[in-house]
Amino acid sequence: MGIIREENELTLINPIRLNKKTEEKLKDMGEVKNIIRLGAFHGVDDPYYVNNFKAQFWSQPGGTTYNEPILDIEIGMGGLTPVHNSEFFHFQGTNQPECALLLKRDGGILFTCDAIQHYGDYSYNNWLARILMPRIGFPKRTIIGPIWLRLMTPEGGSLESEFQRLLQLEFNSLLSAQGAFLNQGARGAVINAVSAAFNLD
């Protein structure tokens, strides 16, 4: 989960439920104002935050996995963003909606959902997942989500051009819904991930 704070307002990206103690720490940080769903395959905890914090819900329409909560603000409408100095990137031609959020500060921070994932380590996984992850396509590096890519690519199509378009953005850090935070060198890591995913080496 990503948290952006502007003064006393919090924007949560790809939010997940927290235990009671950690949720109290979240409340101490400020008022939860916005909830952002970047990908169609994440969203099970969005209704909790919207209902309990009375937050605005931002998402793209058209996802079929999670149908709640009701959209407050459609991502892409009028170029609106919930935080200053930011922009949304929309993947085009995918089977389900997916986007990313670029925060234009500190060299650029890219927030993604499933499209781009970074596994610097497996510290957030249980012992079984730590054994299985590298064997099922999730090595300790930045990757294009293999399951996501299979599910989101139209039959007979390719999403390579969308990742090349994303690489026109300037960013140095990456926080995905999957894995760990990549503090620096993210754009180069994504270049390598795209090359590996689409056999460009």
Q: Give the three-class secondary structure for 199.
A: coil
**What is the per-residue pLDDT for 111?**
98
Residues contacting residue 144 through CB under 8 Å, at least 6 positions apart: 115, 116, 117, 163, 193, 194, 196, 197
**What is the per-residue pLDDT for 60?**
94
**What is the per-residue pLDDT for 35?**
97
| Distance between CA atoms of residues 52 and 42, nearest Å | 19
**What is the per-residue pLDDT for 193?**
95
Task: Put the strands of the sheet holding 173-176 in their side by side order.
Answer: 86-90, 99-103, 109-112, 173-176
CB 189 within 8 A of CB 140: no
Mean pLDDT per 10-residue segment, the chain (201 residues): 95 95 96 96 94 95 88 88 95 96 96 93 68 66 92 95 97 93 95 93 66
| Distance between CA atoms of residues 171 and 185, nearest Å | 8
Whole-model pTM? 0.92
Q: Give the three-class secondary structure for 62.
A: coil
**What is the per-residue pLDDT for 127?**
65
CATH architecture of 2-197: 4-Layer Sandwich (3.60)
**What is the per-residue pLDDT for 41?**
93
Domain boundaries, the chain: 2-197
- In 3-state terms the chain splits into helix, strand, coil percentages (rounded to 5) of 30, 25, 45
